[in-house]
Structure 1
Amino acid sequence: MRLATYNIEWFDALFDHAGELVRDGGWSARHGITRERQIEALGIVFTALEADAVMIIEAPDSNSRRDTGRALKQFAEAFDLRAREVLTGFVNDTQQEIALLYDPAVLKVRHAPEESPEAPRFDRVFQIDLDVDATRDNVSFSKPPLEVEAVTASGAVLRLIGAHLKSKAPHGARNRDQAMRLSIANRRKQLAQAIWLRRRVEGLLAAGESVIVMGDLNDGPGLDEYEHLFGRSSVEIVLGDGGPPLYDPHAAQALAAKFVAQPTTARFYLKPEERYMQALLDYIMVSEDLALRRPSWRIWHPFDDPHCWRTPELREALLDASDHFPVTLDIDL
């Protein structure tokens, strides 16, 4: 079985209100790339992935006029994808949903949100003292994680959690001091969300579930200047801090040493510096029972993955489709 996670930059901008793909020469929300070019690139990437299920981060929007499921089904039909059914969870108001595109012949899935005294449901409020002032703060997700119960054709049950944790930029700051205070507050909130997610994971592990956390955690070792203030990243919190661990080899490699080459899953252009920055943001973390099945992880990086590099059509499509690259997990279930 192949599972994938893929953050698609402004996927929503490629559809009209009826969920139809807008295949024209107009500019997409990706700089310098037309809608037709991005759509064709995504078709090439999804066809090459040939995944049984894809956790799509920044999926098309759902609101009073638009529908995530309708848009993704029409995308799958346009490119004759096996993964053609759609599962969504709690709708958010960011125009960036989390959705699972899957093959119904391989998986039966349902949205399975749960809660406990330690971890409320992801569309609710989590109370935690963020700044050690003996006062609990209310934390909520702008993009509630998608919690999935998936059953394979052989009867294996998986608990998938699709997540998009993101520390907001310091919008509204009028000077450097304000920007620093806002950045630290936003980073603190992201870490609280990671603690909330980790508590949910621990509840599932305690119940004997096979767990996979997949998505964009937008955080990791050495990613920003405020990491030293908190001592650990969202990635380390979700992987486990003394409790039952989750495992992702790319995260393990990044955490092992600062001064060695690290895997990357995203590539952004820094306009002021006129260069690209690469980062490890996307993960597929698995519980110990699944890690023992010797699964295989792969980052579909256009320059670092030999097959992607040697296949010009796929290499260019990966660069046109998004500023993130897919991550896949192949596992025998």
Structure 2
Amino acid sequence: MDKFQAFGKNITASISPFAGRTQQYLKEQFGQADDKTQLPPDYIELEKRVDALKQVHQKLLQVTSQYTNEAYDYPPNIRESFNDLGRTITEKVHLLSNASSPSDVQTAFTAPPSAKPQPKTFNHAIARAALAGSQLLNETHSSAGEDPLATALEKYALSEEKVGEARLAQDAQIQSRFLAGWSTTLNTNLMFATRARKGVENSRLSLDATKAKSRSGGGRGMNIDDEMVSMSEDARHDVEQKEDDFVAQTEEAVGVMKNVLDTPEPLRNLADLIAAQLEFHKKAYEILGELAPVIDGLQVEQEVSLPHPLLSLSTPLIF
């Protein structure tokens, strides 16, 4: 029986503070609370800054989380088959170069993937379309030599595949060095700050609930000093304990929020994001920079090889 009574007392002791805070919270919501302990202006300023930092993380993560989706730039209007997503462009070009019959050519395009289906990125899709176009031109090219456009498309396909691979490397780097870091800040550091602020709010509600409970019948409208005088010794002791706890919770929350705001980790993560993007665009520039003069050369060769329209007039005009 004694154990049961002790258990009941523990339950009551744990429920009473929660009930007091809840009652005080409802009074404040309905404008029935006499007074509300005010938080220091510096503390309120820290809360605003932490809330702003949280929104920044949420908004940017909402956008940059697309880097975890391989097909974020894959055209929605195209339809590629399993065979289209088979071997890499490099593998197909190698097989085509060694093809000795139409069946070998067909095999190069329909062979199953050697590892896994090819990525669904915009650059890989361009590469596959360019190589298919190159092969179609070669199949219908009857003149001696190679079709200049077919040659250019094949080279373009190889370059676009390289750009696509560079984009995937960028995405992997962003996931590990930016998204992971910002997610940790949002889900851990900022969560600690939220928890500390919740502790302050609970402590404040408990303090104000204790004050309201300890007021004498004529205590309404008294200033703080008069209220403390009118309280009994036990009531005054309870209020002082709650005030000490409120001060301690506030100081702890201030320290947590300052740590969150002062850490250089978000800025370091942002620098990593920019570095990954810069590396990708640099590689894309280098790849396409090497390709451009080659395509220009093919264009010049084709223009030079074309007969001049005036030279095609074999019979002179006689007036």
TM range (shorter): under 0.3
Greater relative contact order, per chain length (Cα 8 Å cut-off, separation 6+): 2
Q: Which has the larger radius of gyration?
A: 2
Greater strand share, 1 or 2? 1
Question: Normalized against structure 2, the TM-score is what?
Answer: 0.19
Question: Normalized against structure 1, the TM-score is what?
Answer: 0.18
